[in-house]
Structure 1
Amino acid sequence: MILLENLTKRFGPKILFENVSMQFDPGKRYGLVGANGAGKSTLLKMLAGDEESDMGSISIPSSLRLGVLKQNHFAYDKERILDAVLMGNKALWDAMTEKDTLLAGEVTDEIGIRLGELEGIIAEENGYVAESEAAELLVGLGIPTHKHTDPMSTLAAGYKLRVLLAQVLFLHPDVLLLDEPTNHLDLDSIRWLEQFLVDYKGTLVIVSHDRHFLNAVATHMADIDYQTITVYTGNYTDFVEEKYENRQRAQAQNAAAKKKIAELQQFVDRFGSHASKSKQAQSRVKQIEKLEVKELKRSSLVRPFVRFELDKPSGRDVLRVNDVDKAFGPEKKIFKGLSLNLNRGDKMAVIGPNGIGKSTLLKLIVGAYGGLDADTKKDILKPDTGEIRWGHETSVGYFAQDHHEALGETAKGLTAYEWLYSFDKTATQEQIRSILGRLLFSGEAALKKIEALSGGESARLLLAKLLLQKHNVLVLDEPTNHLDIESIEGLLDGLKPFPGTVVVVSHDRHFVAELTNRVLELQPGEGGTGEKREAAKVVEFGGTYDEYLEREGRDYLRK
């Protein structure tokens, strides 16, 4: 059991949570939710011992082994896959590394004594069976033996996550702490992770903005809001319903109390000075004192107001891709003879495993558009053969997956306001401020420097640029990464009624299912998604994502 007692954490004047006392029980799976900046990742760091509290304490029994999934999937790219797993047991890895270093030089008496100490550590940590145990974990997680000595850099992001999970599991942890594990994972990898976590027997605390994922995995929700942490039983949908009902109930009780107080006070004001009514008036004064109007703190959850407008509509025929080939070198073929058409009003989801070419497709179609700003042009590609042609009166807005690259080198030193203003210097200060306010950059937040923005803030600023420019075609590459659930819902609210055309890559199943009316799936050709492979197979479907899954017999991805 992990026990929090009177825990308080602030950042400057901002209180994340104050005097929180709660516990995380064995065998339960907690989804940690709250707005961007509410303190979710901070709490995970505090549980992991990487961040101090301002007041209070966190008690974790010394007998519990804590497993923390690394958020940076690229941190071990230079390491062998097997070694990345062994690094999960730091004491063992340090002892093995030091032993190899000492044996490579001259072995003196002093070094011999140290080697004996290291052998003791290795034996205590079951080091003599460590490699076989690590290999068994990797095979169980779908990574074949012949890959174990390859560098981590050879793996797609979804499989890097599996290696990092093997690294955590190598410790045999009693507690798992996971921060946004589904970011950059494809749909099949997310499904695999769901099944793995449902089978996990220890205590799980997980931060995720994927409501579908939380519904599948969580048995409890820990909500950071109102400067406290409240635990709810059930998954995300259960939590939303109960939290809303609790708030409505509290507001109704306050309204009833205020009404009763007003009625009693009216009697006191009218008859308080009359001797014949004085006892009744005093009785009502006492009733007023007993009635309580509770102060309801303001929720940190705020939904941005997103409404995409367009200066003028495009023609009916928006995009034609004719017989396009694209490869990166002679052995890495991405597309062969790719053809597709987009019509005005289409909202098309591009899906498929990581490394298949989804972002490449978006960069190709954006690259064929001439009216790009300088920063966007850095992120485009040209086909090797074939033609990509945009239709009459199309205006294309592009949301790149790499937020920092999309913001551009020239953005350094600028505030959010200055950066947005640079894209339309005919706009008034009120217009720029209005758009920023709708995307939750109110007041001083609009003067925050670009390099100081969080992932969620960077994403919202890029959306603000699209709102300002009023394109009739939006090409969005993973727009929901780093956004909290309220911001994702706000983005959906803006895209659903948008009369233009949308092409989106997203691994958020709720987002894709709610928005799109066409599906384009890229499936691995011969050789999969590695460096040696044939071009992807392209499957088109004129219907919703849920209808497509039903046709393909993959309803399990909806559950």
Structure 2
Amino acid sequence: MSFGPQVLFENVNVTFNAGERYGLTGPNGAGKSTFMKIVSGDIDPVSGRVHRPRKLGVLRQDHYAFEEHRVLDVVLMGNHHLWKALQEKEALLAKGDDLSDEDGMRLGELEMVIAEEDGYMAEAEAEELLGGLGLDEAAQQGPMSQLQGGDKVRVLLAQALFGNPEGLLLDEPTNALDIASIRWLETFLQEYVGCLVVISHDRHFLNEVCTKIADIDYETIIVYNGNYDDMVEAKANARSALEMANSAKQQKISQLQDFVQRFRAGSRASQVKSREKQLEKERTALANLKRSNIQRPFIRFELKRPSGKQVLGVDGLCKQFEHQVIVDDFHFNVFRGDKVAIVGPNGIGKTTLLRLLREEIRADDGKVEWGYECQFGYMPQDHSEQIEKSEKTAHQWLWDWNEDVNEEQLRSLFGRLLFTKDEPFKPTKVLSGGETVRLLLARLMLLKPNVLLLD
């Protein structure tokens, strides 16, 4: 599989076995989500074949794709054949007296599909599944838009599990989950008996859940036994052995070159010819040692100017939404150099507290006072708040934040955040999740704030 000139992986032969839990790893841009889409059937490979189980559950990155749908219906969508049949049946029945003979025959066919897929028990099974995941009846009947991020993931996990799939594909399942929900998901997946393939950047999560790691590197996929830490150690050892072999080949090539140059014009022509063949063989073997695709961004937050000693003072802060108290008579101070983590379960009000501190929303009572020379850099949970997906390029979007910066400085900044070649000139509407985060980080590095607020 490749996109443009970039080869993501080629000549991959890999088997995912029942009863194993695989972590799919690799740097941003290595092709993890692309590989998942190939396995799920969303896109086709350039060449080769994929053998899939009949029932495959898929949890995708977009946790906000079904906001207007009823929660129970979102789960039923996990069985594509059943959901399609139910929707078509409902549309035909809506015709009422205008139903044709052909429509009647089609209804009979749909009834057979629904029966084969256990459709008449489907809603009860979905309710049981959601109940087991901690969602009450009221939440099940409401729209997805009313759920917190962690509950959305539970619903989408129920969608992926609906119909007892033989395989489960999870793309970043811990996004938007609080710590308690992540621990719950770890326990849940440890008990899953099918074949699991999961993408996650959460090292602890991969260590707790995975029995094997499928790592995308060297333009292929290598499967390692054990969890993420086991893979890192094994990969480092393999890379060390590869570099030693490479060094030995380089030394051998140098020796062969010396021999050929010394005796080319002498009486040892047959030996020279033999060494030349051996030299070509060694060079070919050396060229076939592929490079690792692992790259690390260079992130450093510099300051235009320091803030005063006291950065923030909060005195008697109060905020309540209907019956939910976010903060009540809250007092605290933050000083230059402090690093403060706001923790708590989903829905408790962490983002709301940040918005109160940024004075995006009005407090019911109390004061928020920022110190001398405070300049803010903000990373929101919802990236669409900051980057409108449009035809505007990433380069233009970043330049708009500081038009005094020159082209060389922008290129350097993009390079430090691993944007290569023409990537800064991609429209923001086609940026991946990882590219969007790196673009927001580039903005923070460009603006050089002395206060960072990261949601």
Fold in common (TM above 0.5): yes
Residue matched to 2:416: 438
Q: Does 1:254 align with 2:246?
A: yes
Q: Does 1:65 align with 2:43?
A: no
Please tell me the residue identity of whatever aligns with 2:408: E
Residue matched to 1:406: 386
Q: Does 1:128 align with 2:120?
A: yes
Residue matched to 1:464: 442
Distance 1:162 1:260, change over 3 A: same
Distance 1:386 1:114, change over 3 A: same
Q: Secondary structure at the match of 2:15?
A: strand
Residue matched to 1:20: 12
Give the distance between the partners of 2:277 and 2:19, measured in 1 at CA. Answer: 49
Give the distance between the partners of 2:426 and 2:66, measured in 1 at CA. Answer: 32
Q: Secondary structure at the match of 2:422?
A: helix
Q: Secondary structure at the match of 1:78?
A: coil
Q: Does 1:78 align with 2:68?
A: yes
Give the distance between the partners of 1:417 and 1:168, measured in 2 at CA. Answer: 37
Q: Secondary structure at the match of 2:311?
A: strand
Which runs of 5 or more residues in structure 1 are unaligned?
1-8, 368-379, 478-559
1:54 to 38, 43, 46: 46
Structure that is richer in strand per residue: 1
Distance 1:58 1:116, change over 3 A: closer
Distance 1:135 1:230, change over 3 A: same
Distance 1:463 1:74, change over 3 A: closer
Please tell me the residue identity of whatever aligns with 2:409: Q
Residue identity over aligned pairs, in percent, reads 52
Q: Secondary structure at the match of 1:79?
A: coil
Give the distance between the partners of 2:365 and 2:351, measured in 1 at CA. Answer: 18
Q: Does 1:348 align with 2:328?
A: no
2:398 to 412, 416, 420: 420
Residue matched to 2:370: 390
**How big is each residue's C-alpha offset from its partner over 1:177-218, in whole Å with a ceiling of 9 and x where there is no partner?**
111111111111111111111111111111212222111112
Residue matched to 1:179: 171
Residue matched to 1:44: 36
Report how far residue 152 of structure 1 moved.
2.7
Report how far residue 303 of structure 1 moved.
0.7
Report how far residue 278 of structure 1 moved.
6.9
**How big is each residue's C-alpha offset from its partner over 1:278-327, in whole Å with a ceiling of 9 and x where there is no partner?**
78767765664664434433332211111111133222211111111223
CA contact (8 A) 2:375 2:449 kept: yes
More deviation in 453-462 or 277-286? 277-286
Report how far residue 115 of structure 1 moved.
4.5
Q: Residues 77-226 of structure 1: matches in 2 within 5 Å?
A: 77-103=67-93, 105-106=96-97, 110=101, 113-226=105-218
Report how far residue 145 of structure 1 moved.
3.6
Q: Does 1:33 align with 2:25?
A: yes
CA contact (8 A) 1:254 1:294 kept: no
Distance 1:401 1:285, change over 3 A: same
**How big is each residue's C-alpha offset from its partner over 1:19-44, in whole Å with a ceiling of 9 and x where there is no partner?**
22222222221211222222211111
1:450 to 401, 407, 428: 428
Distance 1:294 1:249, change over 3 A: farther
Give the distance between the partners of 2:259 and 2:30, measured in 1 at CA. Answer: 45
Give the distance between the partners of 2:431 and 2:99, measured in 1 at CA. Answer: 54
Give the distance between the partners of 1:166 and 1:417, measured in 2 at CA. Answer: 40
**How big is each residue's C-alpha offset from its partner over 1:246-269, in whole Å with a ceiling of 9 and x where there is no partner?**
222212211122123323433443
Distance 1:279 1:99, change over 3 A: closer
Distance 1:335 1:12, change over 3 A: same
CA contact (8 A) 1:323 1:339 kept: yes
1:296 to 248, 266, 289: 289
Report how far residue 172 of structure 1 moved.
0.9
Distance 1:19 1:340, change over 3 A: same
CA contact (8 A) 2:326 2:353 kept: no
Please tell me the residue identity of whatever aligns with 1:357: G
More deviation in 41-50 or 81-90? 81-90
Residue matched to 1:532: none
**How big is each residue's C-alpha offset from its partner over 1:130-177, in whole Å with a ceiling of 9 and x where there is no partner?**
232222212211123454323333322211221222222221100111
Give the distance between the partners of 1:420 and 1:107, measured in 2 at CA. Answer: 57
Please tell me the residue identity of whatever aligns with 1:83: D
Distance 1:440 1:112, change over 3 A: closer
Residue matched to 2:361: 381
Aligned-CA RMSD value: 2.6
Give the distance between the partners of 1:147 and 1:278, measured in 2 at CA. Answer: 85
Distance 1:347 1:405, change over 3 A: same
Give the distance between the partners of 1:167 and 1:427, measured in 2 at CA. Answer: 48
More deviation in 139-148 or 306-315? 139-148
CA contact (8 A) 2:74 2:156 kept: yes
Distance 1:302 1:339, change over 3 A: same
Distance 1:253 1:386, change over 3 A: same
Distance 1:106 1:71, change over 3 A: farther
Please tell me the residue identity of whatever aligns with 1:461: L
Q: Secondary structure at the match of 1:185?
A: coil
Give the distance between the partners of 1:96 and 1:287, measured in 2 at CA. Answer: 68
Please tell me the residue identity of whatever aligns with 1:387: K
**How big is each residue's C-alpha offset from its partner over 1:350-384, in whole Å with a ceiling of 9 and x where there is no partner?**
111222211111122223xxxxxxxxxxxx22323
TM-score normalised to the size of structure 2?
A: 0.90
Please tell me the residue identity of whatever aligns with 1:127: G
Give the distance between the partners of 1:420 and 1:109, measured in 2 at CA. Answer: 59
**How big is each residue's C-alpha offset from its partner over 1:508-537, in whole Å with a ceiling of 9 and x where there is no partner?**
xxxxxxxxxxxxxxxxxxxxxxxxxxxxxx
Total equivalences in the alignment = 451
Distance 1:266 1:148, change over 3 A: closer
Give the distance between the partners of 2:420 and 2:396, measured in 1 at CA. Answer: 14
